[in-house]
Amino acid sequence: MKDKTTLVAILLLAGAVLFNLVALWPEVAVEAPVLNDDTLHLALVGRTVEALERGEDPTDFWVPDFVQGYPLFHHYQHLPHLATALLYQGLGGRLPLRTLYDLIRYLLLCTFPLSLYWAGRRLGFRASAAALAGLLASLLSSGGLYGMDFSSYVWQGYGMYTQLWGMWLLPPTLAGLYITVREGRAWAATAALTAATLLSHTVLGYVALLSGVLFLFLGPLASLGRRALRLGLTFLLVFLLAAYFLLPFLSLIHISEPTRLLSISYAVFCLK
């Protein structure tokens, strides 16, 4: 019976991924002019490649073609751009940057059901239930509200490249936080996933951190202190992993300048 359930789960997931691969194939097969925020993200990936080639800091450099010049990565999530640039260099530049960018976007979208399935299994769901969650992942819709659906990422959508990375990483991150807080396991993996989510999409990183706080109360009151200690240690590891980004950012914020903090937060939100 267990083998049959596993087979059904595999077939459901394979069907979901195959459907996405076919339905979204034009995203990589047809190279059309960019009409959305992918314009910005492609330019940032290209500038990251230049920074790596010139020996500059690829996580904090000057972007001359953004307004009148601005160190955008000083305030903005940049792991997706850095990872894309490093992969481009790792391939020796043999694959055009635009093609690689579209391919990564395509694969993340197509394999999102696997992210949900893996998270569901870690949370203790049966294989069939986790597979159904993955099967329905491609049906998510936010009605044009920049949510976790195809319209936020495809060519005729909004081009939210960093949110796509955050969306893919969020389910495993939530599952990891739940396991670590409840059972005290997988500290390093959970911290790495949480830091990656935070550096990929700051808002979804906040969602993960706040969810971790909520997980404190999913258990006996007698062990609340133990769960709080686990969460605190996890957050400390996350901070250490993301300190190169968080410390310079926080150093620009002063208690006497609340308007500056609000303006920076608003700018980060608007950049999605």
Structure tokens at 152: 């936020």
pLDDT of 66 over the 90 cut = no
Q: How far apart are CA 205 and CA 215, in angstroms?
A: 15
- How does pLDDT run across 104-125, given as a tens digit for each residue? 999 999 999 999 999 999 998 9
pLDDT > 90: what percent of the chain? 63
pLDDT of 128 over the 80 cut = yes
- How does pLDDT run across 12-58, given as a tens digit for each residue? 899 999 999 999 999 999 989 998 999 999 999 999 999 999 999 99
Q: Are 227 and 219 spatial neighbours (Cβ–Cβ below 8 Å)?
A: yes
**pLDDT score, position 256:** 45
pLDDT of 178 over the 80 cut = yes
Structure tokens at 85: 């640039």
Q: Output phi, psi for 236, to 5 deg.
A: -65, -45
DSSP 33: P
What is residue 70's three-state secondary structure? strand
pLDDT of 269 over the 70 cut = no
Residues ≥6 apart with Cβ < 8 Å to 97:
42, 45, 46, 49, 88
**pLDDT score, position 218:** 86
Hey, which residues does 63 pair with through a beta bridge?
70
User: What does 129-149 look like in DSSP terms, one character per residue?
Assistant: HHHHHHHHGGG---SSSS-SS
Mean pLDDT, the chain, rounded, equals: 88
> Other CB atoms closer than 10 Å to residue 31's CB: what's the count?
12
Q: Are 152 and 164 spatial neighbours (Cβ–Cβ below 8 Å)?
A: yes
Q: Of 33-37, 171-175, 199-203, 218-222, which range is least confident?
A: 218-222
**pLDDT score, position 262:** 54
How many angstroms separate the first and last alpha carbons of the chain?
45
